[in-house]
Structure 1
Amino acid sequence: MLAVTAREAAFFLPLVVPICLYVCWSDLSMMKITNIAVLALLAVYVVLGPFALEMSDYIWRYSHLAVVLIAAMLLFAVGAMGAGDAKFAAAAAPFIALADLRLILLLFAACLLASYAAHRLARATPLRRLAPDWQSWEAGRRFPMGLPLSATLVFYLALGLVGA
């Protein structure tokens, strides 16, 4: 049983999806998650959160942002994560109910594996010609984490919408 409700998902999902699509595109094409996308995602939570959540949950979830931001900054400091990825993960954290932490970790793992496999397959096939200028093709070992991070948030909210 998910802790995220259909009501929360219905409020958040319509605005989160276009932001996440933009994050996927920008990270694949430029290997950057822009500050404007991160701020837009945070703005969705700030503005819609009081309508989607109980006020105590709404306020409590700002602690998710702080915890993820600190952890992500540490990962960035040791070179394990990009700055845009860290900021995006922190901005996405308030959308996640703490009770769904296990689910979100499993969902992220699945999205990461699927994204990595799809990106590497596309890079090695003629599909690459559809977007020949994407910087992610030539990024070597670096991987555009905006793709699995965005997919995780969208799938999580979509599961909440359908009441899975």
Structure 2
Amino acid sequence: MAQSASAAFWLLIFAAPVAAWVVWSDLRAMRIPNTAVLALTGVFAVVGLLVLPLPVWGWSWLNFAVVLVVGFVLSLSGGFGAGDAKFAAAMAPFVALGDLRLFLVLLGAAVLAGFVAHRLFRLIPAVRAATPHWESWQRREFPMGLALGPALIIYLGLAALYGH
């Protein structure tokens, strides 16, 4: 892991609740609130500045810009929701460039696991009865927040455990 374990730990502590909120919101309303995007961006802006070396923190914002542009293009093409694109951009500074390959594998696994779990759980009457107003049960689209949030939490958790 390119991040120090201590930095990843502190980032995880503050980012995990936002990521969990995104999962819940996307399942419930098929929407990632802009306030969640701003909250995660704020976590990196403040906590990242406190726990990362200044050059690392500064260059990490380039990740934000690149993912925002790519996400915007994907959103325009209909391949990605706008909220998903904005949240992915807010997540990007948390991922060290040297860990990009690892993160993409984690994200791919989270998409696959989330998709299968979502499709299976929506077939279970008890689950649907417990969450009767969740829009994701009715829609064909996959709530990407269900993959994005856990991918960030798992990545930061691994970095906190195995970072140097």
Task: Tell me how far 1:128 sits from its aligned partner.
Answer: 2.1
TM superposition shift of 1:148: 0.3
Q: What residue is the counterpart of 2:116 in the other structure?
A: 117
Cα deviations across residues 6-36 of structure 1 (Å, max 9, x unaligned)?
1121211111111111100100000000000
Matched length: 162
Question: For residue 56 of structure 1, what is the aligned residue in structure 2?
Answer: 55
- Contact 1:4–1:157 (Cα < 8 Å) also in 2: no
For the residues of structure 2 that align with 1:49 and 1:157, how far apart are their CA atoms? Answer: 13
Aligned mates of 2:57, 2:20 — CA distance in 1: 25
The yes-or-no answer on 1:100 pairing with 2:99 is yes
Runs of 4+ more than 2 Å apart:
none
Aligned-residue sequence identity (percent) comes to 46
Find the aligned partners of 2:146 and 2:29 in 1 and give their Cα distance: 12
Q: Matched residues in 1 for 2:109 and 2:28: separation?
A: 22
Is 2:94 aligned against 1:91? no
CA–CA distance in 2 between the matches of 1:35 and 1:48? Answer: 20
Equivalent residue for 1:42? 41
> What does the per-residue CA deviation read over 1:52-94, in whole Å, with 9 as the maximum and x for residues that have no partner?
1111000000000000000000000100000100000000000
Tell me if structure 2 keeps the 8 A contact 1:20–1:150: yes
Q: Taking structure 2 as the reference length, what is the TM-score of the superposition?
A: 0.96
SS class of match (2:26)? helix
Counterpart for residue 132 of structure 2 = 132
Question: TM-score by structure 1 length?
Answer: 0.96
RMSD of aligned residue pairs (Cα, Å):
0.9
* Partner SS state of residue 139, structure 1: coil
Which structure 2 residue ranges, 5 or more long, are not aligned? none
Q: What code does the residue aligned with 1:139 have?
A: R
Residue 5 of structure 1 and its aligned partner are, at CA, apart by: 2.0
Unmatched 5+ stretches in structure 1: none
Determine the C-alpha separation between the residues in 2 that align with 1:40 and 1:72.
19
Mapping for residues 69-84 of structure 1, pairs under 5 Å: 69-84=68-83
